[in-house]
Structure 1
Amino acid sequence: MMTWQFFVLISILASAAAALLQKVLMRKEHINPIAFAAGLQIIAGLLVGIVVLFNGWHIPDIGPIWLNLLIMPFLYGFANITKFKSLKKIDASEFTVIYQASTLFKVFVAVTFLDEVFKSYQVFGLALIISAVILVTLKNRITFKLSEGELWGLACAALYGFAFANDVFILRTFDLWTYTFLAFMVPGLMTLVYLGKSAKTVVHLFDRGSVWIFLLSSIACGAVATSMYAAYQTGRNAAQIASIIPTYSILIVVLAAIFLNERDHLPRKLVAAVLAVIGISLLK
């Protein structure tokens, strides 16, 4: 029987693989980051849809959550757009650390709208995450000034943080598999509409030199969602799992240095990744 540790490992490896593959595609000049965001979400949604076919399609009474469902595609749609705009400009390892700032926005929503108690030791966790983001963006600059790619990364972190908090309200009544399918597919289709005439650039994802990277990246994203759910279902220990998952950021920094040659400021990136992981663990 597969244990929750096995599914957590799959989730971590899939997260790292997805990040590296996405950066490889973003290095290609002809790949439109918005088209990639649309295509990735749609393909990942179709993969999750296979699970939904076996698990069953379950739609609850949407009356109490109609507003949450309405804003969901905008949050995830623009979160993915900003993600790939960021990856187009900065290293995958740097983006990964900046993305951990999404935890700050999750905490803000949890304390403000979910009436969760914020403990004193968690302030230290927040400070570590902020320090990690500052450390990875400083580089050799004398003054602190965020680049365009870093600003996109922070926007992505904010959108994902609020999207996660919005999910909390929805998943109180919604079947997780059905919702995961919708959370991939609907924002993907909305992003495709947002592209307008530029939607034709999606075909570049299926070029001979890109199609397998694109499909593997989509499979990895689908695997992250499914393995995470399986881990929670098997272990029933959300706090422990949530504390382990962020270690993927350290793995990405190491693998990006090996396979993507992202070795500039490597010690600083590693320290920042470790600080972010510790900070997130303190917030659980």
Structure 2
Amino acid sequence: MSWLGFVLVGVLAYAGYYTLSRVFLKDKKSDAVIYAILFNIVCTLIVGAYACTQGFELLDISAYWLNILVMGVIYALAQVFIFQASKMTEASEVIIISSTRILWAIGAAIVFLDENFTLQKSIGAALILVAVALVSYQKSSKKKKASKSVVAGRVYALLAGLCLGIGFVNDSYILKTADAPSYAALVFFVPTLMTLLIYRPSVSKFKKQLNATLLRNSALLGMFYAIGILASYTAYQKGGDASQIVPIGQSVVILTVLFSVVFLSERDHLARKALGTTMVTLGVLLLI
């Protein structure tokens, strides 16, 4: 299969992950923290196994211990935020709002890596911000409780974008010398440990909530996400350039919105979502 085929596999896998997150997490009894722990364990096993087949190279922990600590905390929070957002609001809104991660990444790069912010990037950033505002706008709500829950879900999606953006810049620094597949395994393993530490009260409920359905759902989420990551890595190995892979990969926003309409019947405010999706896609293309 060519690099393009692997990119498309990655897009399908990521879209499946966001869609299934909404399907599984919207259950009132679901626990975002427990899902995050199991999800990270599944991803660690799959990505770790792949890294071993490629020749696992352990990162120099003494040189990057602070970055690893930041990575663990940031991604532990990001995963819980994503699942909390999926629990409270629509998959189409989660994918659009969490796309602000690229804005946070650029902001962090400007502050910590001294990168420039051009007019083109300013326009791209503005498009994404307007798209998020457009999708989040709500004239009124018949059910105040539902409205508060949806707003909270959007805030979680925004916080997830913040964490993922900062995490991306941190990863970029480490990956200047680290082996990518081996580091990817750590990206799931370390946050698992951090989630156990940060959310100890929720962990105490782990045994009570553990069942076959939870294990199956977590395995599916982890499998889809791991396939997305491995497909992206393979696309680079097959000769794809970042300038080609990133724009095509951004179609995950469009596909997730489409999946949410077809499979989840998320048909409210379709025109706004379509416009927001288009603006986010154009914004990201201008930022890369």
Same fold, judged at TM 0.5 (above): yes
Q: 1:193 to 1:226 in 2, by over 3 A?
A: same
Mapped contact 2:59–2:183 kept (Cα < 8 A): no
Alignment of 1:36-51 (within 5 A): 36-51=35-50
Alignment of 1:1-284 (within 5 A): 2-141=1-140, 147-199=151-203, 201-202=205-206, 207-284=211-288
Q: CA deviation at 1:201?
A: 4.1
The corresponding residue for 2:144 is none
Q: CA deviation at 1:200?
A: 5.1
Task: State, as a whole percentage, how many aligned pairs show the same letter.
Answer: 33
CA distance in 2: counterparts of 1:34 and 1:61, whole angstroms: 29
Aligned to 1:235, the other structure's residue is in SS state coil
The 4+ residue runs of structure 1 with deviation greater than 6 A are none
CA distance in 2: counterparts of 1:129 and 1:197, whole angstroms: 36
Q: CA deviation at 1:63?
A: 4.0
Give RMSD over aligned pairs: 1.9
Deviation per residue, 1:180-218 (Å, 9 max, x gap): 001011101321343325325445775344443322111
Aligned residues: 281
Aligned to 1:147, the other structure's residue is in SS state helix
Aligned to 2:45, the other structure's residue is in SS state helix
- Using the TM superposition, name which of 57-66 and 8-17 deviates more: 57-66
Mapped contact 2:11–2:251 kept (Cα < 8 A): yes
Question: Which structure 2 segments of 5+ residues have no match?
Answer: 142-147
CA distance in 2: counterparts of 1:128 and 1:278, whole angstroms: 7
Q: 1:197 to 1:113 in 2, by over 3 A?
A: closer
- Using the TM superposition, name which of 149-158 and 208-217 deviates more: 208-217
- TM-score, with length taken from structure 2: 0.91
Mapped contact 2:98–2:157 kept (Cα < 8 A): yes
- Using the TM superposition, name which of 111-120 and 266-275 deviates more: 111-120
Q: CA deviation at 1:123?
A: 1.1
- Using the TM superposition, name which of 211-220 and 130-139 deviates more: 211-220
CA distance in 2: counterparts of 1:181 and 1:209, whole angstroms: 25
CA distance in 1: counterparts of 2:198 and 2:114, whole angstroms: 35
Question: Which structure 1 segments of 5+ residues have no match?
Answer: none
Deviation per residue, 1:227-270 (Å, 9 max, x gap): 11111121241122111211111111111111111111122111
